Structures are given as C-alpha cells and as structure tokens.
Structure 1
Amino acid sequence: MHERGSTSRRTLLAATAATALAAGSFPARADGPGKPDTGQPGTREIARLLARMSIEEKVGQLFVMRVYGHSATAPDQADIDANLKEIGVRTAAELIAKYHVGGIIYFAWAHNTRDPQQIAALSNGIQRAGLAGPTPVPLLISTDQEHGIVARVGKPATLLPGAMALGAGGSRAGAREAARIAGRELAAMGINQNYAPVADVNVNPANPVIGVRSFGADPEAVARLVAAQVSGYQHGGVVATAKHFPGHGDTVDDSHTSLPTIHHTREQWEELDAPPFRAAIAAGIDCVMTAHIVVPALDPSGDPATLSRPVLTGILREELGYEGVVVTDSLGMAGVRQQYGDDRVPVLALKAGADQLLNPPDLALARNAVLKAVRDGELTEERIDASVLRILTLKARRGLFREPYVSPGDVARTVGRRSHLLAADRIAEGTTTLLVNEGRLLPLSRRRQPGLLVVGADPASPTGTTGPPTAVLAAALNELGFSASALSTGTAPTQARIDEAVAAAAGKDAVVVATYNVSAGSSQRTLVAALAATGVPVVQVAIRNPYDIARLTGVTASLATYSWTDVELRAAARVIAGRAGPTGRLPVPVQRADDPAQVLYPIGYGLTY
C-alpha cells in the first residue's frame, strides 16, 4: 500500500492544509507535479496561520532535519536505532510530531532514496505527518541533486551532466533543460526543494570541495548558467537554492572539515564571486544557502558567513536586495562549529539573518537554544516570525498547501522517462572537451583500431554509475563496435598493477586511460608514462577535474569529461568513436604544473574533428 492513500483521503488531507490557510486564498499548481505555480499567495492568510502557531511550532519551522529510513512510519530496525541514538525519536513521523520541523533533507546514506516509488511514498508520509499536527503545515523536502558527482537519487531517475560539464557545453538552453528535467522528476517524487545550482566560481584549481561542482572560472559565464538553472528548476516545480553565499570557489580547505578563509578584496569579491548570486536573485531564486567560510574583506570579525550579520543581512539582504529564504549549509560541518558550541550556532545564524537551520548535529540542543534565546530576549518573537513568514510564503508559492501529495502514477510517467534519458545523452554530448589529438588519432576507427584496452582510476562511484569507469567506458565502446577490455588500476596504482596494465596493452591498437585528479606524486603519472613507452597510442580521459593533462607526458589524445557518471562516460565513448564531435570548451584554465602563472589551455579552449 502506498503512503499516499485513497483519493478521498488525499482530498481530505489536502483540504486540511488549505483550511489552515483560509481555503481559496492560494492558487492551485498549474497542472500537476513538475509544473510551475501561478499567481501569488495571500499574505494575510499566512499571517493568520502564523498567529495560530505556538512559539514551539514557529521555532520548529526553522529547522530542516535528517532522518533515517525509507518510510515515515515503518523504517527498518537499524534506522529506528539510528534515529533514537541521534534524534531521540523512532521515525520521521515522530520527529515531525515532536519538533514540528519545517523541512526534511534526504540522503542516500540515511536510506531515504532507495527507488522513485519508495521516495514518493516517504514524501507522502512526511507530508501526512506535517498536516496531522495541531497547526497543519506541509514540509519542504530537500536533497542535494546537483548531478555530476553529487546526486542523492539514482537510477532509474535521469542522471544529467554536472555543473562543470554544463559549463563546458556553454549552452544556457541545455543548462535550463537539464534543471527542468531534474526538477520535474524530483517534484514527482515529492522532493520539493533542491540544493542546486552551485553558484560558486571555481577560480582555484586546488579547491578540494567545489571543483567540478562549479560551472567554471568565468564569473559572467557562471552567472548565465546559474540563472538558466534557477529558471529550469523552478519551472520544473521545485525550490531552487543558489549556494554557497558569498562564494566558496577560491578555497584550499574543505568547510566540511575545517574553516576556510577567502582572501579576496571587496573589489575582487564584486568581480569574481558576486555575479552568479546577483544573477540568481534577478532570476527570482527561491532560496540562497550560506557558506561556512571567512571573508575578512566582507566581515573582519573572523566569523563564518553563516554567522555573519554583515554578510547575510548587510550584503545579501540590504545590498543585493534579496528577499527570499536563506538556508544555512549543514550545521554539522566543522566550518561552522569551530568557534562556537552547537547551542550557540543556530542562535547566531538567526541573528545574522538566516531563516532555515539545516541539519544540526543535536536537534534538541539547537531547538532549545533558540527557544531560550527567545525567552531571554536575545531573539525577539518578531525576528522568528519574519523567518517563518518567508518559509510559509515559499511553501504556499510552491503549491504545497494546495497539493502536498504525489501519486505513484506521476512517478511512473515522469521519473526516468525515455525523453528525459535521451535529453541527458544529447546534453552530455555537447560537454566532452578534446585537449590533445596528436596525429589526428581521434576519432578511433573500428576498422583500423578495433582492439582497445581501457585502464585507469576507479574512484568510489557516485550515484548514477553502473560500475567502475573503466568498465563503463569499455562497455560503451563495445556497444559502438570496438573490442574493448577493462582493467581497473585504481587512483594510486601499484607497480605490480602498472606492470599488469603494460602487459595487457601488448597487441592493442590503443589504450584508453581514465585519470582522476592527478597530483605531483601520483602513481597515475607512472602508469601513463609506462603505457606511452609501449608505443601503443594512449587516449587519456580526465574523469573529474580537467587539470590532469598538465602533469602527464606521452599521451596521444586527451579528453575531459568532468565526471565519471554513466551519462558523461557514454558521451566520451561516442566522441572517441566519432559518433559525436568534441564540442565542449574548457570552462576553467589549465595551468602548467611547474609554473601555474603560465596557462597551457585557456578558458574556451577545445579541439574539434
């Protein structure tokens, strides 16, 4: 039995939410999940709803929380145990009843995203729990579905090229279509908020956390694609979230594990970091996510932006004119926990100007701290009301009071539909970038170069892959008429593995080598050099960051795919085989490894056939 329930029950539950907002005040969604809402909600009805809420309910609306389990009411025992240990409740329904949270975030590791029908049933169960409270309010259900290397929902959902691949494609229409498809499929599963697009401008090749999650290093190009994706997601029926304000693109530290500092001047910030956020706001972005980074030029206090009133209120609200919802990045990340305790962080974030508090490590502690701050006068109830009004208005604008539930039929018709899958392949074909092609080796010919060996890196597979990159590439090349075998050598191949690859290359017409973030001391360099020394032509494919070629010698051809998901590896195979042209252009510069001041391949570089 699906959690959605019967048609009559769905109608009754939806009517409960509508009644809470004075029925008739909010427009229905245009024509079902995945479609944009029309019209504007009535602020007086939202104000009346807010007036009926207790302070505990109001504070609950500020929190977006993780929860373990595939079901809102009947998760597996292991997930019940995890919920009891971390949150003090057994299920998502109990979490909502106890804390009145305004949102839930889905993770694959929390077992929320097994398959599309299960996700839809979980979403309906969560909404049912929200509408069963003393003041019925639907929830914002969110996830990180950036595509590329970050995706929480896997197949059979459509997996699309990630941001830097779309940056290489350079097509606003392609970026918009990718976001629209993603939005429609998320909406069909009841996920109504996506933490995308990434608006960071990745100007630092050493950035360990953004990298290919960014559209590129050109602020204006990034701004155009961010605006396109905002339009696509929101027309697809979900809340778009531009992240990570004020810009996480020039860090050498990861805010998950430390507190990065960006040393841009105010002028550099205006030139490099601000344009994508300005573009997102101009495009009508629903939500902006904060960054746990220090930018002394914007706030010399040393506080991370998430806790900085000069950044969130002074710049984002007052200077940029943003009036929508502000959500923090996860409050469980080290970048926001180094200077203050977990009880102070949520209070300081609200004082800075945040509205939603994402995934605190200890929900009870965080909630009680906010309630205490209200009782003590550190936070006024009017300040809480301002954030809750924004959150409720967003929920109404996205149609959640009118249509909080999704149907199994919509899931089946929408998620992974053939037209979406074909569009993903078509968009990916425009992203593969050719950097080197000595002697016009590419495209390979099935008649002249039938025997191929595919070797190389096998990083942990992101959602959306069917196996190691070597196996996926080999299978795709075999489907195109080659005879390809695969040998995974890993991201740090041993000498024994390198010797095995060299032996396997004997008699082959070409070797395709998948490389992954090659560093100065990486044994991937030794692998590539050893294969090149055999005299067999080497086709190197950078399957994450496109900078690998700067540290490699002896390759005959070099491609960049910006991710090792199936859709991008299949596109690379078609380019190698000549079934598609390499039309992608570098969205970031590739600098010399021994002299970063010198650029080997500039932004916009890319060879063609």
Structure 2
Amino acid sequence: MSSRALILGCAGRSLTPEEAAFFRDVRPWGFILFKRNIGTPDEVRALTNALRDCVGRADAPILIDQEGGRVQRMGPPHWPAYPAGRAYARFDGAAAAIARLGARLMAHDLADVGINVDCAPVLDVPVAGAHDVIGDRAYGTTPNAVAEIGRAVAEGLMAGGVLPVMKHIPGHGRAGCDSHKGLPVVETDLETLAIQDFVPFRALADLPMAMSAHVVFTALDPERPATQSRIVIEQVIRGAIGFDGLLMTDDLSMHALTGPFRARAEASFAAGIDMALHCNGDMAEMRGAAEGAPLLAGAAARRAEAALARLAGAGEGLDLPEARARFAAALSAAA
C-alpha cells in the first residue's frame, strides 16, 4: 500500500492508542520529533520503533531539527550540546572541517536512537535588519560562506547515515518577522535574490531533500508564500536553483499560513510541493492535513525513493571518543 505524502508529529514520549490507530490508517511517509518527544535514549528508540511499526516500514523516515545552538531537540543530559551554526565562522580556514565533524557527531547521536533525517543545513543568508528567527542559525553572512559550511554539514550527516534537509528554500534570511508567528513579505528585487539568497541552495541543489520557506517574495508572487506558490516552485526552486530532490513544506501549523489544514495542504500540493509537514501533534489538525495530502505517486514518489536510496550503504567508521575529544578541543581553542 502506498504511503501518504505526509510527515506528522506526535504529542508525547510514547504513542497513544488513538495516535497509533490514526497513523496505521493514514500511513504517512514519515514522522518528526520535537523536544516534547525526547526522553532517555531508550525512550526515544522505543518511540521511533513504535512509529515505524505503525506504518510497517523499517526505513520510514523519522526527522528532527538538530542544528545546534537554540534549535537542538536532543541535548544534555543525554546528548552533547552543539554550537549554533554561526559559531563555525570562528574557525577561519578550518570552519568546514570542524562543521563536518560536528555534523558527523550529531548523526551518530541521531542514528543511535533511530532518527535518520535531520532538518539541516540552514542555507539562509541573513541580512541586516531582518528578524533574528534565523540569526545565529546561519553559517555566515555571505552566500559563499553559507554554502561552504552548509555543504560540510550535509556531508557530515550523510557520513553518519542521516539524510540532510536543506532549508528554507529559496531563502528566509530577509524575513522581517518570524514565520512561526506571521507571514514574512520580502520586497527585494529578483536580481538581488538571485545573486545572494538563492546562491547556497543552487550550490547544494544535489542534496536529496529541501524544506520550503513560508515567505512571500513580491518580485515573484505577491500573493502567495513560496510553499504555496507554483511560480516560486517552478521558476525558482525547480528552475533557477535547479533542485530536483524531494521538496517538503515547512510546518503547516505555523501562523504564516492561514485557513483550514486541509486547504493549507491542498494549496501546497497544487503549487508543486512533494510532501506536507505537520509538526505539533494536534490530532484535529493532523486529520485535516491528511485529508488534503495525496498518496505518494509520480515524480514525488520518485524523489522520495531517491532520497531514501541515498541512505543505502551510507555511513563511515567513527572513533567516537577520539572524535568527541577532537571536536571539544577545537571549540575550546576557538572560544
């Protein structure tokens, strides 16, 4: 039976009977975990196993936002604290190598508890005066610096058997408000966007997955955010940027989007999105999103299969104590 083009969250550290029955019926392609879902390592393993049992797929994607800094769902006391993306800029010529090592260690933490997709790297290029929702999550302030360190993070994750998701395509760095709370409108001209905001995504267009930005770009589509704009998806994401991987929405429950959840999902798929994401575990909202999400088919199914195929044979050996010591020493030296 086909999966539904949907990634869903759950409410707590274990599944309720209602959640398990709903997931078995809806058959989402994958799941996403947040801090509310994270207990001990054994509890997280039990949850990832239970989620996969619901859909009957041992390789079902389980996602998390594990960037480091203020966006880190798994942290002390069970896992290390990792620095925010901006911290790697301190390493000058060694920035990419240290960022790759940090991502490789994160991948170990995630894979050890059954998580196989990380919503990173953040490829947004922040500009002066923008809202700090991106801020120190960005790897730098120039497109080339963001692309270089973003590539290293993606490689580190894949070396540990975890798929990266680049975000927030085609760029969230100019947003004047937090898209969790409102709809950002960017009025920058297309030429400027093309030579700055789009550059890191174009440089990493070969990555398997990307998350869309809930941002209106008036130079392209003054009415709809990128997530729900066929113009942005066809002309920029698939066109100018050249991304042909699996394109998923940012969270449908964010306040940048409005209307019933079925309509939010339907508008996203009508624009060309491959996969809808709903994060907060609210059952009524999830039911609405599921009603608006089709079964995986066509190009979306091809892209989803190709993304998972990148996990086959992925992973490299790691001397964990040595790698953790080397990473800690590098951070200490740069402090």
What is the TM-score normalised by the length of structure 1?
0.51
Distance (Å, rounded) in 1 between the aligned partners of 2:203 and 2:105: 21
8 Å contact from structure 1 (residues 70, 118) kept in 2: yes
Report Cα offsets for 1:216-237 as digits up to 9, x if no partner.
2111111111111111111121
What does residue range 276-295 of structure 1 map to in structure 2 within 5 Å?
276-281=200-205, 284-295=206-217
Is 1:219 aligned to 2:143, yes or no? yes
Shift of 1:414: 8.3
8 Å contact from structure 2 (residues 61, 117) kept in 1: yes
Shift of 1:213: 0.7
8 Å contact from structure 2 (residues 163, 310) kept in 1: no
81, 84, 100: which is aligned to 2:27? 100
What does residue range 312-323 of structure 1 map to in structure 2 within 5 Å?
312-323=233-244
What does residue range 86-485 of structure 1 map to in structure 2 within 5 Å?
90-91=18-19, 93-109=20-36, 112-131=37-56, 136=57, 138-155=59-76, 156-170=78-92, 171-281=95-205, 284-300=206-222, 302-337=223-258, 340-359=259-278, 362-370=285-293, 384-399=297-312, 417-429=320-332, 431-432=334-335
Gaps of at least 5 residues in structure 2 are: none
Greater radius of gyration (CA): 1
Report Cα offsets for 1:416-475 as digits up to 9, x if no partner.
x5334323322323543xxxxxxxxxxxxxxxxxxxxxxxxxxxxxxxxxxxxxxxxxxx
54, 61, 65: which is aligned to 2:8? 65
Distance (Å, rounded) in 2 between the aligned partners of 1:255 and 1:96: 28
Flag the 1:319–1:196 CA change in 2: closer, same or farther, 3 A. same
Q: Which amino acid aligns with 1:357?
A: A
Equivalent position of 1:603 in the other structure: none
Flag the 1:168–1:310 CA change in 2: closer, same or farther, 3 A. farther
* Alignment coverage as a number of residue pairs: 326
RMSD of Structure 2 on Structure 1 (CA) = 2.4
Matched residue SS, 1:357: strand
Distance (Å, rounded) in 1 between the aligned partners of 2:53 and 2:289: 25
Flag the 1:270–1:253 CA change in 2: closer, same or farther, 3 A. same
Flag the 1:298–1:213 CA change in 2: closer, same or farther, 3 A. same
Matched residue SS, 1:334: coil
Q: Which amino acid aligns with 1:359?
A: H
Equivalent position of 1:532 in the other structure: none
8 Å contact from structure 1 (residues 260, 292) kept in 2: yes
Q: Which amino acid aligns with 2:6?
A: F
8 Å contact from structure 1 (residues 167, 222) kept in 2: no
Distance (Å, rounded) in 1 between the aligned partners of 2:322 and 2:184: 42
What is the TM-score normalised by the length of structure 2?
0.89
Distance (Å, rounded) in 2 between the aligned partners of 1:220 and 1:388: 32
Q: Which amino acid aligns with 2:45?
A: A
8 Å contact from structure 1 (residues 246, 291) kept in 2: yes
8 Å contact from structure 2 (residues 45, 113) kept in 1: yes
Identity %: 31
Shift of 1:129: 2.5
Distance (Å, rounded) in 2 between the aligned partners of 1:206 and 1:431: 27
Report Cα offsets for 1:480-516 as digits up to 9, x if no partner.
xxxxxxxxxxxxxxxxxxxxxxxxxxxxxxxxxxxxx
Flag the 1:370–1:148 CA change in 2: closer, same or farther, 3 A. closer
Flag the 1:161–1:224 CA change in 2: closer, same or farther, 3 A. same
8 Å contact from structure 1 (residues 169, 430) kept in 2: no
Gaps of at least 5 residues in structure 1 are: 1-52, 73-79, 81-88, 372-380, 404-412, 433-609
What does residue range 486-525 of structure 1 map to in structure 2 within 5 Å?
none
Matched residue SS, 2:53: helix
Shift of 1:117: 2.3
Shift of 1:172: 0.8
Shift of 1:183: 1.3
Distance (Å, rounded) in 1 between the aligned partners of 2:233 and 2:330: 35
- The one of the two structures with greater contact order (alpha-carbon pairs below 8 A, sep at least 6) is 2
Distance (Å, rounded) in 2 between the aligned partners of 1:228 and 1:266: 28
Shift of 1:342: 2.2
8 Å contact from structure 1 (residues 95, 101) kept in 2: no
Shift of 1:272: 1.5
